[in-house]
Amino acid sequence: MASVAERLQVSPFMTFFIIMSMQIGIGVLGFQRIIAETAGHDAWISVLLAGASSHLILILIYWLLQQADGDFVLLHQRLFGRWVGGVLSLLLVLYFAIIPFVVLNTYIEVVQVWMFPDLKTWEFSLALFLLCLYITFGGFRIVVGICFFFLIIPSYLVFTFWFVLDYSDFYQLLPIFDHSPSAILKAAKQMTLTMLGYETVLFFYPFIKGGKQSAKWAHAAVLTTTLFYTLLTILTLAYFSENQLQRQIWPTLMMWKVVELPFIERFEYIGIANWLLIILPNICLGLWCSSRICKQLFSIRQKMALLVITTICFFCTLWIDDRAEIDFANTILNRAGFYFLYIWIPCLAGITYIVKKVRGNV
């Protein structure tokens, strides 16, 4: 049982912020195009479906956490033995370690296309990873603080979508359910990458005071994210015509181009700068989770694991930096997330249930 000293724990209310800030990352900038390609103007239904399924998986996750006493790595070991369980957990380390550099690379790409074409990847990446090290070295409480602030401060961006209404035609969303259910489901599957984030609860659960109470906050977070994404999808579908949407790589950024405040003309620059605040928790949580699993697997100091993982991520941002490779990494992440959440977790739950029946406890 991985128990954590009480002074290092945070209140269950924070679960809301951790999960929501992990879910909202770089996917938000461009997910609409992908799901609209499959499900057309019914894509918002796919978002709702993806959200609903996330709730179900979250319930399974909490049940598993109850069975495992909060220690997921130990669960793997107990069910599959030390070596196979270790390999499974190692896969998770890789999963969480891919997130930082995929997120960062995508962000740097956005910055290079939209703001500074001659921004050198390596130096921004270096600065950012140094900052993330500074954050993660402070421990989980500081990471949660970052999640909290950098969800609340950029939340004003939601109001900027008001300006989009002037140029939106909501009749473009009609008729509802004009696409086949299989298309809508397929789009829901594509949506999972953007909804990823709540799986981190498997690893920070011991850090929450009164673990079980956090379930309601976790569900609240997933619900809010789902609603937010749905609204954004609806707005996007009304703002762009279908074919036009297909030609936008980052529809959300394009929507910001039309925002005009009395003292600021081109809002997308401020949006992109604020986006740094939104992706920072993603990177830090990814680093923290993967180093924490490393600590539990290999019994090394978490600081050491952090340094190693961060250095590897940094070099990855240098080598994997053209559009095709980043897309490939994104796809891998999407697939990995999907299999982990929608295939592995239910299987694991099933296995745990059976083992529990047979053995009496895990």
Partner 1 sequence: MTAPPPSVWTTLQILGSSTDFQTKVYRNDTAGLYLWVSYVEPMVDMEFVARSIFPYLFHCPFSSLEEIHRALPIDDAYDPNNVKEKLLEGYLFIRLHETDETGLLVKAQKTLERALTVPEVEFSVVGPKESFIESLETNLFLLRKRIPIDRLTVKMTTVGTLSKTKVAVVYIDGIANPDNVQTVLQRIEEVEFDEIIDSSYIVQIISDNRHSPFPQLLDTERPDRVAAVLAEGKVAIMVDGSPHVLIGPTTLVEFFSSFEDYFLNWTVASFFRLIRLFSVTFSILITPMYVATLNYHYELIPKDLLGTLITSRREIPFPPILEVLFLELTIELLREAGARLPTKVGQTIGIVGGIVIGTASVEAGLTSNVLLILVALAALASFTTPVYKIGNTIRLMRFPFILFAEIWGLLGVAFCFCIIVTHLLYLTSLGRPFLSPLYPPRWRDLKDALARLPFTSQSKRPETLRTEQPIRFDGKKAKQKRDIDE
Partner 2 sequence: MSMRTALLIGVTVVLLCGCVRKEILDDINIESAVGFDEAGKEKIRGTIVIPVYKRGETANKTLTTVSSTAKDVLEELQYKTSEPLVSGSIEIALYGKQLAKQGIFPFIDQFRRDASIGTRLYLAVVDGTAKHLLEGNYGRQGNGIYLSNLLKQNIERRDLPKTNLHLFLKTYYADGKDPFLPYIRRVGEDVQVIGVVLFRGDRVVDTIGQSDMFYFKIVADGYSEGTHTVRLNNKKYVSIKNISTKRTISFSGPKTRPHIHVHIALEGIVREYKHGPFTSAVRRSVEKTFEQQIRSQTEALLRRFQEKQIDPIGFGDLAASRYRQFRHRDFYKHYSQLPIRITADVTIRDTGIIE
The residue among 326, 327, 99 whose CA lies nearest residue 200 is 99
Please name the residue that has the structure tokens 């979508």.
161
* Residue 13 binding partner per list partner 1, partner 2, none, with a CB distance cut-off of 5 to 8 Å that depends on partner kind: partner 1
Task: List contacts with partner 1 (CB under 8 A).
Answer: 10-11, 13-14, 111, 115-116, 119, 124, 127-128, 131, 134-135, 138, 141-142, 145-146, 148-150, 262-266, 269-270, 272-274, 276-277, 280
| Pick 83 or 263: Cβ nearer partner 1 | 263
Q: Is the distance from CB of 263 to CB of 164 less than 8 angstroms? A: no
| Pick 223 or 270: Cβ nearer partner 1 | 270
CB of 344 to partner 1, least distance (A): 34
| Pick 270 or 307: Cβ nearer partner 1 | 270
| Pick 118 or 166: Cβ nearer partner 1 | 118
Q: By CB under 8 A, tell whether 243 contacts partner 2.
A: yes
Q: Is the dihedral of CA 128, 134, 139, 140 positive or negative?
A: negative
Q: Where are the beta strands (DSSP E) in the chain?
A: none
What is the spatial distance between Cα 16 and Cα 220, in angstroms, rounded to a whole number?
A: 7
* Residue 201 binding partner per list partner 1, partner 2, none, with a CB distance cut-off of 5 to 8 Å that depends on partner kind: none
Q: By CB under 8 A, tell whether 315 contacts partner 2.
A: no
Q: In the beta sheet, which residues pair with residue 264?
A: 261
Would you state the structure tokens that stand for residue 80, as one six-digit string? 């599959």
In order of 27, 107, 171, the CA distances from 276 in angstroms are: 13, 8, 34
What is the spatial distance between Cα 312 and Cα 308, in angstroms, rounded to a whole number?
A: 6
What is the spatial distance between Cα 279 and Cα 28, in angstroms, rounded to a whole number?
A: 11
* Residue 272 binding partner per list partner 2, partner 1, none, with a CB distance cut-off of 5 to 8 Å that depends on partner kind: partner 1
Q: Which amino acid is residue 181, in one-letter code?
A: P
What is the spatial distance between Cα 316 and Cα 124, in angstroms, rounded to a whole number?
A: 13
| Pick 35 or 146: Cβ nearer partner 1 | 146
What is the spatial distance between Cα 270 and Cα 166, in angstroms, rounded to a whole number?
A: 21
Q: By CB under 8 A, tell whether 273 contacts partner 2.
A: no
| Pick 163 or 344: Cβ nearer partner 1 | 163
DSSP SS3 for 242: helix
Q: By CB under 8 A, tell whether 260 contacts partner 2.
A: yes
Q: Which of 63, 80, 114, 344 binds partner 2 (CB under 8 A)?
A: 114
Span 150-189, contacts to partner 2 by CB under 8 A: 166-167, 169, 171-175, 178
Q: Which of 123, 210, 319, 361 binds partner 2 (CB under 8 A)?
A: 123
Can you give the binding site for partner 2, defined by CB under 8 A?
A: 113-114, 116-120, 123-124, 126-127, 130, 134, 166-167, 169, 171-175, 178, 239-244, 247, 254, 257-258, 260, 265-266
